[in-house]
């Protein structure tokens, strides 16, 4: 207990001895040692020994795979970061004696953790949403809701919202309006058959993205039957 107290006292003395030392007297990029100012070691180098009255600070270069990015008085440089391929990481920028290595993730994945410690798969934009920005090694996919006039019928990390098919420009009529998840469904317009007399059932022509199992709109059937009957009567007379 007494020893501890003594130790505390000693530390206290040391601290007060060191602390009020007029560090402001040293210039920038210098640090105080005893009663003098030593130059810091520059980036890329580490401290070997403090300066003395007759010798300047002695520094040495960081070793291979090491770096120091600050003016410093550290005895060791820092180890370059290792981009572990088992975690999906690969080198983005090789480190130098003054900069650390930076990592990024393999195709289709992006970093997690502030310092790219590991990788995770890009998010998919669900149906009704399109990809606004494809994910990169360091950023996830950015999705946006498909605005009016656009749709996305897939969950994807690449697909944008696609514009609805314009039935009009294809010479067709709209059979079902598009939604944010489905394309417009177009159908052939009502018109006389090549014989000139029989009405034709409206046959839907599926635009890509439409439901391929959707045939003529049932509401139109009675009309078709009526026209057919009228045509038949005409032929009989
Ligand atoms: C898609 O449309 C539906 C119906 O209009 C709406 O409720 C939904 O919020 C829309 N989804 C998106 C992603 O905008
Ligand atoms: C989505 O739409 C595309 C083109 O419009 C179509 O080829 C595809 O079959 C549709 N996919 C699904 C899952 O509905």
Q: Answer whether 67's CB lies under 8 Å from 49's CB.
A: no
Rounded to the nearest whole angstrom, what is the distance from the C-alpha of residue 153 to the centroid of ligand 2?
6
**pLDDT tens-place string over residues 216-230:** 444 443 433 333 444
Radius of gyration, CA atoms only, the chain: 38
**pLDDT tens-place string over residues 81-101:** 999 999 999 999 999 999 999
- Of all protein residues, the one whose alpha carbon is nearest to atom 2 of ligand 1 is 180
Q: Which ligand is nearest to the CA of 146?
A: 1
Q: Answer whether 160's CB lies under 8 Å from 130's CB.
A: yes
CATH number attached to the domain at 85-121? 2.10.50
DSSP 8-state class, residue 62? -
| Ligand 1 atom closest to the CA of 129, numbered from 1 | 13
Q: Answer whether 179's CB lies under 8 Å from 206's CB.
A: no
- Of all protein residues, the one whose alpha carbon is nearest to atom 8 of ligand 2 is 209
> Which is more confidently placed, 203 or 57?
57
Question: Ligand 1: residues whose CB is within 6 Å?
Answer: 128-129, 145, 179-180
Q: What percent of the chain has pLDDT over 70?
A: 70
Mean pLDDT of the chain: 79
Domain chopping of the chain, boundaries? 85-121, 123-163, 164-231
Tell me how many degrees the CA angle 216-221-223 measures, rounded to the nearest 5: 130
CA-based end-to-end distance of the chain: 127
| Ligand 1 atom closest to the CA of 181, numbered from 1 | 1
Mutate to test the pocket of ligand 2, among 128, 154, 181, 214 (most ligand atoms within 8 A of CB): 154
- How far is it, in rounded angstroms, from Cα 166 to Cα 149? 10
CATH number attached to the domain at 123-163? 2.10.50.10
Residue 196 binned pLDDT confidence (cut-offs 50, 70, 90): very low
What pLDDT, on the 0 to 100 scale, is given for residue 4?
46
Rounded to the nearest whole angstrom, what is the distance from the C-alpha of residue 196 to the centroid of ligand 1?
44
What pLDDT, on the 0 to 100 scale, is given for residue 190?
66
Over range 18-38, report the average pLDDT: 77
Using a cut of 0.75, tell me whether the model's pTM lies above it: no
What pLDDT, on the 0 to 100 scale, is given for residue 188?
87
Over range 4-24, report the average pLDDT: 46
Rounded to the nearest whole angstrom, what is the distance from the C-alpha of residue 51 to the centroid of ligand 1?
71
Q: Which helix (H) or strand (E) holds 13?
A: helix 2-18
What pLDDT, on the 0 to 100 scale, is given for residue 25?
82
Res. 148: pLDDT tops 60 = yes
- Of all protein residues, the one whose alpha carbon is nearest to atom 10 of ligand 2 is 209
List beta partners, residue 116. Answer: none
**pLDDT tens-place string over residues 110-146:** 999 888 999 999 999 999 999 999 999 989 999 999 9
């Amino acid at each position: 207990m007494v020893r501890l107290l003594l130790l505390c006292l000693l530390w206290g003395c040391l601290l007060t001895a060191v602390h009020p030392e007029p560090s402001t007297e040293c210039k920038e990029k210098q640090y105080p040692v005893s009663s003098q100012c030593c130059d810091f070691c520059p980036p890329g180098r580490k401290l070997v020994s403090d300066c003395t009255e007759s010798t300047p600070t002695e520094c040495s270069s960081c070793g291979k795979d090491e770096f120091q990015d600050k003016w410093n008085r550290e005895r060791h440089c820092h180890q370059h970061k290792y981009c572990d391929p088992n975690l999906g990481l690969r080198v983005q920028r090789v480190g130098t004696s003054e900069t650390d290595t930076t990592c990024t993730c393999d195709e289709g994945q992006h970093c997690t953790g502030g310092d790219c410690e590991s990788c995770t798969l890009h998010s998919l934009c669900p149906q009704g949403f399109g990809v606004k920005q494809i994910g990169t090694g360091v950023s996830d996919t950015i999705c946006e809701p498909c605005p009016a006039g656009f749709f996305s019928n897939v969950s994807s990390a690449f697909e944008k919202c696609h514009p609805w098919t314009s039935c009009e420009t294809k010479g067709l009529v709209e059979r079902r309006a598009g939604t944010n998840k489905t394309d417009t469904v177009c159908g052939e317009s009502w018109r006389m058959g090549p014989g000139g007399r029989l009405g034709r059932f409206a046959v839907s022509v599926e635009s890509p993205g439409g439901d391929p199992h959707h045939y003529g709109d049932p509401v139109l059937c009675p009309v078709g039957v009526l026209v057919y009957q009228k045509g038949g009567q005409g032929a009989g007379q």
